[in-house]
């Protein structure tokens, strides 16, 4: 099952590398979230905000 993050990333037409670069995150950290190995609810708010900003969505969109 795809994570909400992966759905949003694919809808934005971004690779993991591209999103990681735009969000200023390590691709390994983003990859774990993208695959669901790490829950988005367990990341720092700053990290969630970086991802949401890069995807032009809200943090709520990443969760729900």
In terms of residue numbers, what domain contains 51?
A: 4-63
Prediction pTM value: 0.93
- Angle at Cα 39 formed by Cα 45 and Cα 7, nearest 5°? 95
Structure confidence at residue 1 (pLDDT): 79
Structure confidence at residue 39 (pLDDT): 95
pLDDT one-digit tens code per residue, 5-54? 999 999 999 999 999 999 999 999 999 999 999 999 999 999 999 999 99
CATH code of 30's domain: 1.10.260.40
């Amino acid at each position: 099952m795809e994570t909400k993050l992966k759905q949003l990333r694919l809808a934005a037409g971004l690779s993991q590398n591209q999103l990681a670069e735009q969000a200023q995150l390590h691709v390994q950290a983003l990859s774990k979230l993208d695959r669901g190995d790490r829950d988005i609810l367990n990341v720092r708010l700053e990290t969630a905000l970086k991802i949401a900003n890069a995807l032009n969505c809200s943090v709520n969109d990443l969760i729900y």
